[in-house]
Structure 1
């Protein structure tokens, strides 16, 4: 098994663990909004990482031609959605940290 495949599986497994913990906190009614915001952001970022690692590496290699001759790498629809979700997740993590520091 390649290292990329192991990292991809770990990303999805850790996202599932975060989701399980979030559901468990909601079920026990001990869910704090700032922690939930950070956990949802982490789940989205991990899903983005796993999805981007899953893309076809043969067609998306960065070469001298693609770097200097403006050949744009086309992403699939799923990859574009994953990138947007990952950016949204990063914003959620930043907001969670910012408001957590502000509340102290």
Structure 2
């Protein structure tokens, strides 16, 4: 049974322990490439077992950041949805923070 559905982006990140790592990983994914759960877990630095038990990956599908596909061997795969407002906002946030940290480091 899935826990309560978050009502905002910040709530999603706060409720799902793996969400921050997954969002950090998806901003680095290549468009048009199919990724398995294992690929995404590796990119996010979280154990695959944890990813299977968590709802954060499905939440990213639900908000349109990832598209769920089926590969030739019937394994669930995911493709980054670069047109997603969620992906664009995550990348903008990532870039803005990196830029500000670079300014402060000078």
TM normalised by structure 2 equals 0.34
Higher strand share: 2
TM normalised by structure 1 equals 0.35
Higher relative contact order (CA 8 A, sep 6+): 1
